Amino acid sequence: MFHHELILKGEKLLLNQKKSIFWYNQNMLIVADLHLGKAVHFRKAGIAAPAQTNDQTLNNLASLIDYYQVSSVLILGDLFHSRVNSDWQKFINWKSNFQQVNFILVKGNHDLLSTVDYQRSNLRINDKLVLNPFLFIHDSSELSVNDSEKVVMSGHIHPAVKLSGKGRQKITLSCFLLKKNNLILPAFGSFTGTYKIPKSRNNRIFAITDESVIEI
């Protein structure tokens, strides 16, 4: 596993090519925007979507949990894409393989399941969460004035960056974006879009390749 080490407020964060962060001192894995159930939701609406994306996302998450041997997983919103469907039970069954891991969800705009459905999953649910020195939220644009004074981690926008090379070569890569005091994670899910962010002197961009994370 390749890591790009980032120190914020004295805390060591390991940004990896699997689109997640390992918070060293908390033994915590941090991910955002899994969008489980999205393919089933699309197919119900008559839109072709690959069936294996849900399993791929959960397999990737399982491999990270095993690799880091984490005690907790923090999901920064949009765990599930829409209303409950068959993929929710698959998630509950998958989660039962990790009885010793504490799963925490900071709810996003797509997290629309009922209280009963969330209770069945045994998730710890928050609208936002403070674990010093960080504040965790799905969409950082919804922060209050007081919240904006904190170091924030969020998701929601699925950041990506377009790189150009010789011979008019171009590639778009998911990335971590550090914008002032806000670290925005890429979408973790296997079936999500991206939003290309403009380059700026005020931003630090960490582009993700198959084998590395590179600050550009």
Q: How far apart are CA 198 and CA 209, in angstroms?
A: 19
Give the pLDDT score at 43: 41
- What is the average pLDDT across 113-139? 92
**Residue range 3-215 in CATH 3.60.21:** yes
**DSSP letter string, 74-127:** EE-S-SB-SS--HHHHHHHHHHTT-TTSEEEEE--TT----HHHHHHHT-EEES
**What's this model's pTM, rounded to 2 decimal places?**
0.91
Q: Which of 136, 104, 112 is nearest to 11 (CA)?
A: 136
Average predicted confidence (pLDDT) for the chain: 87
Contact in structure between 97 and 90 (CB atoms under 8 Å):
no
Q: Where are the domains of the chain?
A: 3-215
- Per residue in 36-88, pLDDT (tens digit) is 875 544 444 444 445 566 889 999 999 999 999 999 999 999 998 677 777 88
**Higher local confidence (pLDDT), 198 or 212:** 212
Measured CA to CA, the distance from residue 124 to residue 190 in angstroms comes to: 24
Q: Where are the beta strands (DSSP E) in the chain?
A: 3-8, 11-16, 21-23, 28-31, 72-75, 102-106, 124-126, 129-131, 134-136, 151-154, 159-164, 170-179, 182-184, 195-196, 203-208, 213-215
pLDDT-derived band at 148 (thresholds 50, 70, 90) equals low
Cis peptide before 133 (omega within 30 of 0): yes
